[in-house]
Amino acid sequence: MKVQNPNFETRVRDSFARQAFMDKLGVRLVDVSVGSVEMELDYNPDLCQQHGYFHGGVIGTMADNAGGYAAFTLMNAEDSILTVEYKINLMAPGNGDKLVAIGRVKKPGRTLTICEVDVWIEKDGQQKLCATALCTLMTMKGHSDEQSKK
Amino acid sequence: MKVQNPNFETRVRDSFARQAFMDKLGVRLVDVSVGSVEMELDYNPDLCQQHGYFHGGVIGTMADNAGGYAAFTLMNAEDSILTVEYKINLMAPGNGDKLVAIGRVKKPGRTLTICEVDVWIEKDGQQKLCATALCTLMTMKGHSDEQSKK
Amino acid sequence: MKVQNPNFETRVRDSFARQAFMDKLGVRLVDVSVGSVEMELDYNPDLCQQHGYFHGGVIGTMADNAGGYAAFTLMNAEDSILTVEYKINLMAPGNGDKLVAIGRVKKPGRTLTICEVDVWIEKDGQQKLCATALCTLMTMKGHSDEQSKK
Amino acid sequence: MKVQNPNFETRVRDSFARQAFMDKLGVRLVDVSVGSVEMELDYNPDLCQQHGYFHGGVIGTMADNAGGYAAFTLMNAEDSILTVEYKINLMAPGNGDKLVAIGRVKKPGRTLTICEVDVWIEKDGQQKLCATALCTLMTMKGHSDEQSKK
């Protein structure tokens, strides 16, 4: 995969830092590589569903975000990224201490980029596959991510 | 569609009230009907992405939840519901004052129930289709929603 | 929904007629409207899986095609359409005499168009919902459908 | 992954041989392993869309089938498998001499099994990723695949 912008890590981290909702959830961006990112989120009762596990919406949010930023690592400085759609399979309850989401570009493209994301639930140091997603992202040519709300 | 439990509305509302994450987001369950629910969420800068619009994760969370509770309206008192998977298309930015999600059962089933969800973004009193989702839910026979975390 | 090309029906029918695979299966294009198409396929043992029902691949093919041509009804004469992705839920076995697929544009767009498709199985004059799909199509600007293989 | 039936390969090949539609298309089952299958299909103008490439319906059929049989390798002799749903991204045109589909179980389960499928298009000896799918399969307990149409 070809990097369009050597400062991709800074750009991804800056964009992530501007997402108030990620801050509210407490998601941390732990790794940013070419075509791949990794995020983590510690357990917090506020993020739970009725059985005290991580809420599916939190798992979905991490999957969507990890897919989006994986694609964003390959973008030009003038371009930004938009989630077109994703499909997620929830395969085990979010019963644990920490969620770890790893997004990877499966197929880069000029207009559309396809990413895969795995979300793991960690409990007592053991990781279990919790969810997997397949995402379609669109490059917004000439709409830099830094542009403010119109 | 056949209602298995005449107290379905109370059961849905009780389950929803036990979801800490929905409370944290501020989602309101405005309507509970046979095979259908409607939820709303007012704008809040904490729920936003980098451009000040509702974050895709928030929109996805509402879609997942509205699909799940639509299916839950048809369940027996002894059964609960689990999201197997969903696919969501994000069709317009969450640029507005309020999100409205309407989930409907498309095909009820003994083991699996298929739901459709539309999410609307409201701005200055005008609604625009923001996202649409297709969800697969599984009935957890004999696992009532009221059971606590094991 | 706005029609870009008054001759859309002719264009859809001509394109459909050029798809050898549709002819091999025996699919008929029964209706072409603005943002919507309807297709039918009669039972044939060659199109079956191991239990003598319509094969899932046949149902998926009709869903993909009906979604694509629904979007194609809204295109300019110079543009063609490409399936980006779709998700399909198979909800009842293809046990019957005829499949009927109805594709509808849910959200038209300059680059991407989102369509919904329902596939019905007809047996002894009764129709049953067999599958439902949610599809993302991309407009290929300046690539007319009539262009031959490069 | 645990094999429930030591004769899984024979069972998969027998079931595949009973699918008239696979025979009509000319799909070959080239490899059957624990939790994984591989299929191939040679180019044939009958299987094409309007530009002379493999039709998307053919690609989707192979993806659906490869996912289903990957899951089927892990089933008991008394059980069969049903496709609940799948999502497929078409990433490159089917422009080549041969399609190769590889299905793999991502998460086995008692009721539901999740599979991933990659479909490659081969041209002049070079393979290119053509499509990727994420599939949900359901175990039909006590419904052996050998049972005839009811």
The 10s digit of each residue's pLDDT in C116-145 is 999 999 999 999 999 999 999 999 998 888
> Residue B78 pLDDT > 80, yes or no?
yes
B61 to chain A, any CB pair closer than 8 A? The answer is: yes
Is A107 close to D132, i.e. CB distance below 8 A? yes
Closest partner residue to D88 (CB to CB) among C50, C82, C86 is C86
Kindly state the percentage of chain A with pLDDT values over 70.
98
Q: What is the mean pLDDT of residues B89-97?
A: 97
Kindly state the percentage of chain D with pLDDT values over 70.
98
The whole-angstrom separation of Cα C117 and Cα C122 is 16
Distance from CA of C75 to the nearest CA of D (A): 17
Average pLDDT, chain A: 94
Is B89 close to A85, i.e. CB distance below 8 A? yes
Is B107 close to C132, i.e. CB distance below 8 A? yes
Q: What is the pLDDT of residues C19-76, one digit of tens each?
A: 999 999 999 999 999 999 999 999 999 999 988 999 999 999 999 999 999 999 999 9
Q: What is the pLDDT of residues D48-66, one digit of tens each?
A: 998 899 999 999 999 999 9
Q: What is the mean pLDDT of residues D43-51?
A: 93
Helix axes A8-17, A56-72, angle to 10 degrees: 150
> Residue D149 pLDDT > 50, yes or no?
no
Residue B148 confidence class, pLDDT cut points 50, 70, 90: low
Q: In B23-49, which positions are buried (b, 16+ CB within 10 angstroms) versus exposed (e)?
A: ebbebebeebeebbbbbbbebeeebbb
Cα C72 to its chain centre, rounded Å, is 10
Chains linked to A by 3 or more Cβ pairs within 8 Å: B, C, D
The whole-angstrom separation of Cα A36 and Cα A30 is 11
Q: In C36-68, which positions are buried (b, 16+ CB within 10 angstroms) versus exposed (e)?
A: bbbbbbebeeebbbbbbbbbbbbbbbbbbbbbb
The confidence score (pLDDT) of residue A3 equals 82
> Residue A58 pLDDT > 90, yes or no?
yes
C46 to chain A, any CB pair closer than 8 A? The answer is: no
The confidence score (pLDDT) of residue B3 equals 82
The confidence score (pLDDT) of residue D99 equals 98
> Residue A148 pLDDT > 90, yes or no?
no
Closest partner residue to D114 (CB to CB) among A109, A114, A132 is A132
Element holding D108 (H helix, E strand): none
CA dihedral A81, A86, A92, A93 (to 10 degrees): 70
- Asked if this assembly's ipTM is beyond 0.90, the reply is yes
What residues in B contact D89, CB-CB < 8 Å? Answer: none
Burial of residue B18 (CB within 10 Å: 0-12, 13-18, 19+) is middle
Residue A143 confidence class, pLDDT cut points 50, 70, 90: confident
Query: Out of A87-91, C17-21, C77-81, D60-64, which region has the weakest mean confidence (pLDDT)?
Result: C77-81
What residues in D contact B136, CB-CB < 8 Å? Answer: 84-85, 136
Q: What is the mean pLDDT of residues A86-106?
A: 98
Residue D148 confidence class, pLDDT cut points 50, 70, 90: low
**What sign results for the dihedral spanned by CA atoms C14, C15, C18, C24?**
negative
> Residue B150 pLDDT > 60, yes or no?
no
A141 to chain D, any CB pair closer than 8 A? The answer is: no
pTM above 0.90, yes or no: yes
Q: Which pair of tokens denotes residue A110?
A: 């000029």
The whole-angstrom separation of Cα D21 and Cα D23 is 5
Residue B4 confidence class, pLDDT cut points 50, 70, 90: confident
What residues in A contact B64, CB-CB < 8 Å? Answer: 56-57, 60
Q: What is the mean pLDDT of residues A90-102?
A: 97
The whole-angstrom separation of Cα B105 and Cα B116 is 6
> Residue A147 pLDDT > 90, yes or no?
no
> Residue A2 pLDDT > 90, yes or no?
no
Q: What is the pLDDT of residues A10-57, one digit of tens each?
A: 999 999 999 999 999 999 999 999 999 999 999 999 999 988 999 999
In CATH, which of 3.90.480.20, 2.60.120.260, 3.30.1310.10, 3.10.129.10 is domain D8-140?
Answer: 3.10.129.10
Q: What is the mean pLDDT of residues D119-123?
A: 98
Transcribe D30-91 into DSSP letters: EEEETTEEEEEEE--GGGB-TTSSBPHHHHHHHHHHHHHHHHHTTS-TT-EEEEEEEEEEE-
Query: Which residue intervals of chain A are DSSP H helices?
Result: 8-17, 20-25, 56-72
CB A55, CB A47: distance < 8 Å? yes
Burial of residue A2 (CB within 10 Å: 0-12, 13-18, 19+) is exposed
The confidence score (pLDDT) of residue A107 equals 98
Q: How crowded is residue A74: how many other Cβ atoms within 10 Å of its Cβ?
A: 22
B87 to chain C, any CB pair closer than 8 A? The answer is: yes
Residues 6+ apart with CB under 8 A from C14: C146
Three-state SS at A3: coil
Residue ranges per structural domain of chain D: 8-140
CB D108, CB D88: distance < 8 Å? no
Distance from CA of C22 to the nearest CA of B (A): 27
> Residue C149 pLDDT > 80, yes or no?
no
**What sign results for the dihedral spanned by CA atoms B137, D136, C117, B123?**
positive
Q: What is the DSSP letter of B86?
A: E
> Residue B149 pLDDT > 60, yes or no?
no
Distance from CA of C46 to the nearest CA of B (A): 29
Query: Which residue intervals of A54-134 are DSSP H helices?
Result: 56-72
B111 to chain D, any CB pair closer than 8 A? The answer is: yes
The confidence score (pLDDT) of residue C146 equals 78
Is B148 close to A51, i.e. CB distance below 8 A? yes
The confidence score (pLDDT) of residue C148 equals 53
Closest partner residue to C51 (CB to CB) among D24, D68, D148 is D148
Closest partner residue to D60 (CB to CB) among C52, C64, C82 is C64
What residues in D contact C61, CB-CB < 8 Å? Answer: 55-58, 60-61
